[in-house]
Amino acid sequence: MAASSSSPVLSLRGISKHFGAVAALTEVDLDVSAGEVLALVGDNGAGKSTLVKVLAGVHRPDAGTVTFDDRPVTIASPADAHALGIATVFQDLALCENLNIVENLFLGRELRRARLDEVAMEIRSWELLRQLSAKIPSVRVPVAALSGGQRQTVAIARSLLGDPRVIILDEPTAALGVAQTAEVLHLIERLRDRGLGVIMISHNMEDVRAVADRVAVLRLGRNNGVFATADVSSEDIVAAIVGATGTALPRRPNRREEPADD
């Protein structure tokens, strides 16, 4: 796995979010660096979806700070997230099955001169797919004819149009077969190799261990550990997810903290 840079590109400190009397997030801290895959894991109701929507600009946090490239930022809308360089690929992918790949990639962002520049859009589509080493024979095939892994590829390629610095992938291998899962995990490695920070939300410990450099655990809306993947077993991660007691888990110091003296 690639080593990430020393300074996080995106940092969250003390992020809290309430929906009425329900505390969805409570003082959550999170860092992601360029060239790093950070897996975000937790049981249902742990706060993963809420945290993703905070980063995507769908929800505004009630408290806490967000820094991007070491400067404080406010993510008040999806447009703010895009402008910063944060792209999110949600689990439903939001692709139009009756449109082809080019049309899906540029839907709402078509390139025009006097009219639609079909040639430029097709060239750019191939460039994006080649960056991901995608196995798609034609950019003019309807999305309805693609496999689940190929559809995930199209959704990720679309997110790259804005040249993001951080990409959030919400359950990218859910409901995929073995071969398609391997294809998507390869895509994630390609994103890391390009120097992007990747936040991958997943319930699949095998996928997490295959590509993640670090694992951040949420439990009941709170941080319950950040671990270097190489230092822990899947059982250790699951213990942190369910809140099992009596298990000593190695914790990687926060990037802005000094390790405690022995």
* pLDDT (mean) for 169-173: 94
pLDDT per residue as tens digits for the range 207-225: 999 999 999 999 999 999 9
Per the model's pLDDT, the better-predicted residue between 28 and 134 turns out to be: 28
pLDDT of residue 260 exceeding 70? no
Domain annotation covers residue 97 = no
CATH number for the domain that contains residue 14: 3.40.50.300
Q: What is the spatial distance between Cα 57 and Cα 44, in angstroms, rounded to a whole number?
A: 21
Domain total in the chain: 1
Q: What percent of the chain has pLDDT over 70?
A: 90
Q: What pTM value is reported for the model?
A: 0.86
The parent domain of residue 185 ranges over 10-85+164-242
In the prediction, which pLDDT does 3 show?
A: 47
Domain annotation covers residue 185 = yes
Q: What is the spatial distance between Cα 105 and Cα 159, in angstroms, rounded to a whole number?
A: 8
Domain annotation covers residue 209 = yes
pLDDT per residue as tens digits for the range 47-91: 999 999 999 999 999 999 999 999 999 999 999 999 999 999 998
pLDDT per residue as tens digits for the range 26-53: 999 999 999 999 999 999 999 999 999 9
Stretch among 5-9, 96-100, 141-145, 167-171 having the lowest mean pLDDT: 5-9
In the prediction, which pLDDT does 247 show?
A: 38
Domain annotation covers residue 126 = no
